[in-house]
Amino acid sequence: MKEPTIMDVARQAGVSVATVSRVLNGSTLVNASTQEKVMEVIRSMQYTPNAIGKQLRSQKTMTIAVVVPDISITYCVEIIKGIENTANPLHYKIIICDAQNKPEKEREFMTLLVSRTVDALVLVTPSQTDAELAAYADNGYTLGVIGRDAGHDAIPCALTDNVKLTRQVMSHLIGHGHTRIAFLSGFATAIDSYERLEGYMKGLQEARLPFVPELVDNGDFTEDGGYAAFMRLRERNPGLTAVFAANDEMALGVHKACGELGIPIPGGMAIVGVDNSRITNYVRPPISSVEQPLQTMGVLLAGKLIDQMNANEQAGRRVFKIDSTLIVKGSSSLKEAEEGQR
Amino acid sequence: MKEPTIMDVARQAGVSVATVSRVLNGSTLVNASTQEKVMEVIRSMQYTPNAIGKQLRSQKTMTIAVVVPDISITYCVEIIKGIENTANPLHYKIIICDAQNKPEKEREFMTLLVSRTVDALVLVTPSQTDAELAAYADNGYTLGVIGRDAGHDAIPCALTDNVKLTRQVMSHLIGHGHTRIAFLSGFATAIDSYERLEGYMKGLQEARLPFVPELVDNGDFTEDGGYAAFMRLRERNPGLTAVFAANDEMALGVHKACGELGIPIPGGMAIVGVDNSRITNYVRPPISSVEQPLQTMGVLLAGKLIDQMNANEQAGRRVFKIDSTLIVKGSSSLKEAEEGQR
DNA sequence: GAGCGGACTGTAATCGTTTACAATGGTTTT
DNA sequence: AAAACCATTGTAAACGATTACAGTCCGCTC
């Protein structure tokens, strides 16, 4: 079970290791007949080059690590697929790292970069601060961020335009006559929470509606959190007619709460979420949600990152700010609700 | 941005590389004061050992690759989590490989093993034949399989007891008075399809019900496939009152079809699926489904695999055949349907 | 005081590649 | 015919770690 090495091949073929290496790497400086002979030996021995040896010598692993906060959420999976779609054709391998929502795990994965196990690292909605990330970038490590702008020249970023996104939702709701619209944020540290809140306020302002702090609550991005937050919101604001949740999980919680309280959707309460996850189409009525082109974000970011590694181009800030689309469904539009009777 | 190497540390600390290495690996044969000094230098230089160098020398990567057919399905994600839970505390890293349902991709990932990029490889419901897998095992590569019994002494396997699982479902349905029960299989090559079909037949036999070939159809494990298959089944069998789908996706397809045709669930049609995926709880009525302890399967398999690598124990066949539990919900029980009004 | 053993440290080989440089032999140029 | 060149191949030095083996130094025993 001892693997044959390049030396075994060389001996068997009666040439030097250099020649075998040249054949392996498709160098032109090798005689056609020698090439043939070496290839034959390689085939007969079932030789496969040892990746570690290669990596040590070339100082490259052709591998990119993708660190996601939670492998079970579709948001992350879509991004991973996008990255894979760019990276694989360029012969880069992807390794997926699940931080299990633990900041310390995320930080642990950074050592993959430092120990040179991977050439680059993509962080999806990292918990680390911009300053922490900047420190890595300043030390010459290649990394990219998805979900926010890390604000560093050497760190390409891909993110959705949260303000635009939110204003889109607000104008939809306001257009349907809602004036008392609640906003459900995720945990306070998340940039998405902040930016979407900002967009919420801007949307109100443009429609000359007052901003009422009681209409804002936090649901921690989870279904249960959304459920609880909605209960609180409702208590505080009896006149509430619409909820904008910063993600679908919380929207689901609101949906559930309404079901239990016998509040009709969308007549008694309109609901809009973000992510347009599959499950929003399976509840009755389905939940309106904003679709983000996640795969595209992955594709763009990975492309940029690989360019950066190969071309050594430090072409300044590279931030992809990407627009998303509101998918209106039964939870916020009576018309849709009546049509879509599955 | 040049990484410091162990030699830089040695020079700076005025000792040899051997000593530094000993400090790094916690060897006892090093003077306390030297140790202190070396540690200090390591800290001040921010030295992190180069993983590639280490791997080349030790011929170990402490990494296990997990190859899944599709990263977007929860089935796979749960298994991954189980593996991670065992492997991480034992200092093994996991790399997740998404075969995107393409057999050629899966085969590509096998080279990770051959090129020594990883120490072991876990295949989740592999598309390769037992013989192909056996060839790897015979060449001394460490691999494990989840989802079926690969039938090789050196390949530990974790799988659900499909026959038991199916009979459980059948007795539930038969107990509720159903006599014309359809079986929806996945693609024919999948072992699950075959075994579950077998269980279906045994279940009928035990209840002295006839096996009617027209009551079996194939839905390719997808929602659309299940939808289409149900339409065909219904045409062929007007008296149909229950469907057992070999996974939840197909069950969802049946659920959708019934919704469109106005067939009441469970009164007009009872539905049972397998996997107990989250989404089954969000449709109305929720779909009864069999829950498999997927994380447990991952945990057991990974544990066995690591044992095998460390202890060199070739302790013969190691197959974990695991029981699952039917979760009865509204789609197959009127009682549940009436209670669970969300 | 020679011999021995223990505690610690250093030297150098090794893992499997790639690649700069040198070497070879043959052909063309001058 | 010497020089220059080309195509092809080989030698050996990296890459960054671990570790067998060989010191060195010191204190202890006989």
- pLDDT values of chain A reduced to their tens digit, one per residue, 342 residues: 578 999 999 999 999 999 999 999 887 778 888 888 999 999 999 999 999 999 999 999 999 999 999 999 889 999 999 999 999 999 999 989 999 999 999 999 999 999 999 999 999 999 999 999 999 999 999 999 999 999 999 999 999 998 889 989 999 999 999 999 999 998 876 777 788 888 899 899 999 999 999 999 999 999 999 999 999 999 999 999 999 999 999 999 999 999 999 999 999 999 999 999 999 999 999 999 999 999 999 999 999 999 999 876 666 678 999 999 999 999 998 876 666 543
Beta strands B93-98; B120-124: pairing state: unpaired
Neighbouring residues of B48: CB distance < 8 A, sequence distance ≥ 6: A111, A114, A115, B3
Chain A residue set in contact with B, beta carbons under 8 Å:
1, 3, 48-53, 55-56, 61, 71-72, 74, 77, 80-81, 84, 95-96, 98, 100, 111, 114-117, 139-140, 252, 256, 259-260, 278-279, 282-284, 342
CA-nearest residue to B262 within chain A is: A342
B56 Cβ within 7 A of any nucleic strand C atom? yes
Domain covering A61-160+294-322, topology: Rossmann fold (3.40.50)
Q: Do residues A93 and A37 touch, judged by C-beta distance below 8 A? A: no
Give the CA angle between residues B281, B282, B286 to the nearest 5°: 50
pLDDT at B193: 75
**CATH architecture of structural domain B6-49:** Orthogonal Bundle (1.10)
Q: What are phi and psi of B143, to 5 degrees?
A: -145, 160
Q: What are phi and psi of B30, to 5 degrees?
A: -140, 135
The DSSP symbol for B280 reads G
By Cβ distance, the residue of A53, A80, A95 closest to B56 is: A53
Task: Collapse the DSSP code of B215 into the 3-class scheme (helix H, G, I; strand E, B; otherwise coil) and give the result.
Answer: helix
CB < 8 Å to A278, chain B: 279
pLDDT at A269: 96
What tokens does B181 get?
A: 């029960």
pLDDT at A314: 62
CA-nearest residue to A340 within chain B is: B260
pLDDT at B341: 46
pLDDT at A18: 92
CA distance A210 to A32: 79
Give the homologous superfamily in CATH for domain B60-160+294-322.
Response regulator (3.40.50.2300)
In whole angstroms, what separates CA A120 from the centre of its chain? 16
Q: Which residue is nearest to nucleotide D20 (CA to C1')?
A: B18
pLDDT at A193: 75
Domain boundaries, chain A: 6-49, 61-160+294-322, 162-292+327-339
Question: Same CATH topology for B6-49 and B60-160+294-322?
Answer: no
Per-residue model confidence as pLDDT tens for chain B (342 residues): 678 999 999 999 999 999 999 999 887 778 888 888 999 999 999 999 999 999 999 999 999 999 999 999 889 999 999 999 999 999 999 989 999 999 999 999 999 999 999 999 999 999 999 999 999 999 999 999 999 999 999 999 999 998 889 989 999 999 999 999 999 998 876 777 788 888 899 899 999 999 999 999 999 999 999 999 999 999 999 999 999 999 999 999 999 999 999 999 999 999 999 999 999 999 999 999 999 999 999 999 999 999 999 876 666 678 999 999 999 999 998 876 666 544
Per the CB < 8 Å rule, is B56 touching A51?
Answer: no
C-alpha distance from B157 to closest chain A C-alpha (Å): 22
Q: From residue A169, how far is each of A195, A201, B44, B47 by CA, in Å?
A: 14, 12, 51, 49
pLDDT at A64: 96
Q: Which amino acid is at A99?
A: A
Sort B129 into a burial class: Cβ within 10 Å, 0-12 / 13-18 / 19+. Answer: exposed
| Residue the block writes with tokens 């072991």 | B120
Chain B residue set in contact with A, beta carbons under 8 Å:
1, 3, 48-53, 55-56, 61, 71-72, 74, 77, 80-81, 84, 95-96, 98, 100, 111-112, 114-117, 139-140, 252, 256, 259-260, 278-279, 282-284, 342
* DSSP state letters, B38-104: HHHHHHHHT----HHHHHHHHT---EEEEEES-TTSHHHHHHHHHHHHHHGGGT-EEEEEE-TT-HH
Q: How far is the CA of B84 from the C1' of C9 (A)?
A: 40
Nucleotides of D under 7 A from a protein CB: 7-12, 14-20
CB < 8 Å to B71, chain A: 71, 77, 80-81, 96
Domain covering A162-292+327-339, topology: Rossmann fold (3.40.50)
Q: Do residues A39 and A31 touch, judged by C-beta distance below 8 A? A: no
Per the CB < 8 Å rule, is A282 touching B283?
Answer: yes
Per the CB < 8 Å rule, is B51 touching A115?
Answer: yes
Q: Which amino acid is at A300?
A: L
pLDDT at B302: 96
CB < 8 Å to A71, chain B: 71, 77, 80-81, 96
CB < 8 Å to B74, chain A: 72
Q: How far is the CA of A28 from the C1' of D6 (A)?
A: 14
Q: How many Å is the maximal CA-CA distance in chain B?
A: 87
CB < 8 Å to A116, chain B: 3, 50-52
Q: How many CB atoms lie within 10 A of CB B131?
A: 10
pLDDT at A104: 94
